[in-house]
Amino acid sequence: MAIIIDGKLTATKYNNALKDSINEMVQKGNRQPKLVVIQIGSNEASSLYIRNKKRACENVGILFEHKVFEESVSESNLLDEINKLNNDESVDGFLVQLPLPKNIDEDKIINAISPSKDADGFCPITLGNVVLNKSKIFPGTPKGIIRLLDEYKIDVTGKKVVVVGRSNIVGKPISIMLTNLSATVTVCHSKTVDLKSETCKADILIVAIGSAKFIKEDFVKDGAIIIDVGTNKVDGKFCGDVDFESVKEKVSAITPVPGGVGPMTVNSLLENVFTLYKEKVGN
């Protein structure tokens, strides 16, 4: 039976450590860190995610402000708000909850966020610095995956990693970050000709495609480590992109869904905010 890589427990551990660090900074006379989340419209999933972020912030001592705009808000009003937040010294980081309504140009909005306030780590300049191995902040899910691997003492140096999925927020950044950490990384996607032959060679298989239970036993190598980024709802229950029951006897370690990568993504957001905060208030 595989080791279950417990993201919930790991996130709690690091959230608690972060809480202590923040508390220490405040004891020294510094202000609390602050995150602002901008929501446009009232997408139900977005509202749920934002509530989770709010709870997580409050739990560790990060001030949280939720700014809601009507779906009909103009792009220029939104850009004005972003500009204000870029220049507001009491705000350490902010993010615009995606997806955006169709009348708003997502690129324009993300590009307007100052890299010194980029809580999500989605800005081009942040990503570029990730490529150059010089960033202090990172997209949340990749950062969370690397922390999980680290927590379970899984050294990636020289390991064969296969990433399935090439999204801008998971697949591409995690492949770059693991290359920088000296893994040998292959990125697969919908156009990969023989996916199974690729995934079967992976020491570490990372799956982020958003397709319920897509990866079965015959896609994995004996003893592989599986990181399942998917969160899909099937018959009212959450499941990952990996068929957990099918692969669990074959692999050496696996993240469950829920309770695997998900909680780590939120922890990464908090860590990014704290990193941006320290850049401002000093150590």
Q: Which of 209, 204, 179 is nearest to 255 (CA)?
A: 204
Q: Which of 63, 125, 200, 281 binds a copy of itself (CB under 8 A)?
A: 125
By CB under 8 A, residue 109 contacts a copy of itself: no
By CB under 8 A, residue 281 contacts a copy of itself: no
Separation of CA 205 from chain center: 17
DSSP-assigned letters across all residues of 131-163: HTT--S---HHHHHHHHHHHHTT---TT-EEEE
Classified as helix, coil or strand, 64 is: strand
Contacts of 176 (CB under 8 A, 6+ apart): 130, 131
Amino acid at 24: E
* Structure-block tokens of residue 126: 């942040």
List binders of a copy of itself among 193-212 (CB under 8 A). Answer: 193, 198
Could you give the residue numbers annotated as active site?
53, 97, 120
List binders of a copy of itself among 129-158 (CB under 8 A). Answer: 129-132, 134, 157-158
Binding range to a copy of itself, per CB under 8 A, among 4-12, 14-22, 181-189, 255-263 = 181-189
Q: Strand pairing partners for 66?
A: 37
Per-residue binding string, a copy of itself, 69-108, x by CB under 8 A, is --------------------------------------x-
Instruction: Give the interface with a copy of itself as residue ranges (CB under 8 A).
Output: 107, 123-132, 134, 157-158, 160, 166, 168, 172-173, 175-176, 179-180, 182, 184-189, 191-193, 198
